[in-house]
Every structure is written in structure tokens, then in C-alpha cells.
Structure 1
Amino acid sequence: MGITVGFDLDMTLIDSRPGMLVAMNTLGAESGLPLDGEHFAANLGPPLDDSLRGFGAPEDRIPALVDRFRELYPDVVVPVTIALPGAAESLRAVHAAGGSTLVVTGKYAPNAKLHIDALEFEVDELVGELWSTRKAEALREHDARIYVGDHLGDVHGARAAGAVAVGVATGPCSRADLAAEGADVVFDSLEEFPAWFARWLAEEAG
């Protein structure tokens, strides 16, 4: 049986920033709250409720704001989201080696699945609404040996699960920051993943 490789979604497999910016600014206009779409889109990763708290949203309004954001999402974010370079090829590389692919994301799972379906990604399992070290819950459950992500929280999740932490500097965190946080390997983009994965498999077999 091949190994399972986990991937983060936002800014690892997909670039959802343009739609995220519009969705958050729309939510701000509707709610009358100072929600900053540009800042939100530039710092994707943490859970939506945490981001709303960071903008000063009252705690009692956060559940309704989250629900409304999720309602806006399919029409505002999904259509303008693109695959990042190397994303589809990396998923295919895992399958070509007889492995399984797992997406573990902080995103609401039904909306995450819309992206996977729209971009025709080869994903075997999807787990949503997990962030940072909590991602280890899904990684351990699915026995993922590798986890790939763009955020320091992804490195924390991989390390908590005992998985190889692969960082990609396509999100808000630099190569240096990912490496300093404990990533085992860091790429400029997922275009580097298939060749590295082939070498890693050969080393494991040897």
C-alpha cells in the first residue's frame, strides 16, 4: 500500500486571494464592521472566526458573520480561484506512486470541496475546519507521512503528527520563516514537489 500525503488548500494548492478579498469586504459593507479584505487575503490560514476577532468583530456577532461569509463563498470566491503552479502535478505524483492524497484545511469543508471539484484535483480525502496542531488529528487518523503547507501553522500540524513537514513559500510565510519553524524542506512552489517526492520515496525504499 502506498503512503498518504497531506496538503493544505489555501495558498498551497490554490490561490483564493482575489475572491477572499471581495468576500470579506462585502461582509464588512453588509455588517457595518471595519473588515479589511486586503489584510485578510494577504494572511490566509487562521480560522475565519479568529480573523473576524482580529478586526474587532463583537463576539456575539461572529457566528452570524461566519454563516454569511460561507453563503457568499460559492459565488464570490470559487469562480475566481486558480490552481497554484505544480498543484495538480503534485497530487498526480502521489497517485502515480500508488499513494493517497489528503487535504486538511482550516476552511469549511463544503466550500473546500467546491474548489477541489472545480479544479478537478485528484484528492482522495478532505478534512476541514482544522488549524495548526489540530491538523495532526486528521494526519494521524489517515496515517499521513508527509504534510505540505504554506503557513507556520501547517508546519506545527505536520510536526505534531510526526509527519515530514514540507513548506511552500507561496503564502504569507517566507522560506526562512518556514525553515526556522521546523519545516524539513521548503520549496518556492509545488513545482518542486514531484521530483523531491520521487527522491524521498527512493530514499525510504533504500
Structure 2
Amino acid sequence: MTVGFDLDMTLIDPRPGMASVMNALGEEAGLPLDGEHFASNLGPPLDMVLRDFGAPEGRIPELVARFRELYPEIVVPGTVALPGAHEALEAVRRAGGRTVVVTGKYRPNAVRHIKALGFEVDVVVGELWAAGKAVALREHGARAYAGDHLGDVRGALAAGAVPVAVATGPCTREELVAAGAEVVFDSLAEFPDWFSAFGAPEPAR
């Protein structure tokens, strides 16, 4: 069995570094980029965020490239694993399953986080958002996908995977349920008990 996981605010909390890197980019570029707002609403792709901040369309490719350059030294060192993250991944592995991280983040930086925090993950797929995540989830045969954002629920549903939500990000429990989440946890610390039932073989008839 394969289970998918989102990264930001599902497995990791990168918010302090995210605020710092966006503020640094804004100062360097002479643009009003709000790092605190960005860090409080993680999920959408970076180019979409920059457009929402009013960045000129012609500058977005260079801003994205510079953000990615600044990222490893500013964001990775201060990022921590969210409660239950290691245990959730281990629960799947202990049951003989595979884990795939599907994130909107630039893959090389996602891999840096995974290595820094010692996560054991089988596959990492980056730069997919919302229903677009279904491409990777279907490719790897994910039966469930855990995430913190409405976009993660949409991705799971589009892939035909069970949408598992954690209320650790910008979306409320009520919003996640309304979007179609089958189960909503306060944190991934609740995941292993749920997965032990979800992953159990059906009784013989």
C-alpha cells in the first residue's frame, strides 16, 4: 500500500524561515512582499503567491529563482517536524507500505527538508498543487493522501485516494470536512491508530 503526504504544515513547520525568506526577497527586489502573511497561508505555488502580492509578471521567473537560491540557508535550518510526522511515516513503513511526498514545493528544497529531519520517504514529487497532485498520486497508486490544505483534499479526491486532513495549517477543521476530507486530525500523532484500521486486511468471507 502507498500513502501520500503533503510537506508544509503536514510533515514540517517551516513558517519562521518562510517569513524571513519572503521578506528578504522583497527587500532585495524592492517589492512589498509580506513574509508573515505568506507563512500563515502556505500551500499555493510560489508564482501564484507572488502574483497575489502584485509582483510584475515579467519579474516572476527571476523572483522564483532567487527565492529558491535563498531558501536552503534561511528556511531549512529552522524548520521542525510537526508532531507525529515521524510516527506517521513509520506506521506506513511498519505495515509494509510505501510513502510518497507530493508537495507544491520545489523538489530539491523539499528533499533538503526530508534529509535534514531524517524522514524515511520512498518518493518525493514537487511542484504540484491542488488537483494537479492527483497526477503523482495516481502514478504511485496512493490509497490515501494526508494534507493540511483544501488543495490537498482536492488532490486526493481527484486521484481517487482517501482524503486525510490535519488541522495544522491555514484551513479549519470545518473547511476541510466541507471540502471532502474523510477524517480530520488535530495532528499526525493521531494517524498511526487510524492507519492501523485503514491498512488492515479485510476479514475473509
TM over 0.5: yes
Structure 1 unaligned residues grouped into runs of 5+? none
For residue 120 of structure 1, what is the aligned residue in structure 2? Answer: 118
1:205 to partner: Cα distance: 2.1
1:86 to partner: Cα distance: 0.1
For 1:70 and 1:93, the matched residues in 2 are separated by: 32
For 1:175 and 1:110, the matched residues in 2 are separated by: 31
Deviations 1:86-135 (A, max 9, x none): 00000000000000000000000000000000001010000000000000
For 2:101 and 2:134, the matched residues in 1 are separated by: 12
For residue 108 of structure 1, what is the aligned residue in structure 2? Answer: 106
For residue 29 of structure 1, what is the aligned residue in structure 2? Answer: 27
Secondary structure, in 3 states, of the residue corresponding to 1:28? Answer: helix
For 1:64 and 1:20, the matched residues in 2 are separated by: 18
For 1:199 and 1:61, the matched residues in 2 are separated by: 49
Structure 2 unaligned residues grouped into runs of 5+? none
Q: Which amino acid aligns with 2:7?
A: L
- Give RMSD over aligned pairs: 0.5
Runs of 4+ with deviation above 6 angstroms: none
For 1:152 and 1:201, the matched residues in 2 are separated by: 24
Aligned with residue 15 of structure 2, among 14, 17, 24 = 17
For residue 144 of structure 1, what is the aligned residue in structure 2? Answer: 142
Q: TM-score, normalised by structure 2?
A: 0.98
For residue 188 of structure 1, what is the aligned residue in structure 2? Answer: 186
In the TM superposition, 1:1-206 aligns within 5 A as 3-202=1-200, 204-206=201-203
For 2:123 and 2:189, the matched residues in 1 are separated by: 22
Secondary structure, in 3 states, of the residue corresponding to 1:205? Answer: coil
Question: How many pairs are equivalent?
Answer: 203
Q: Which amino acid aligns with 2:202?
A: A
Q: Which amino acid aligns with 1:118?
A: A
Q: TM-score, normalised by structure 1?
A: 0.98
Q: Which amino acid aligns with 2:199?
A: L
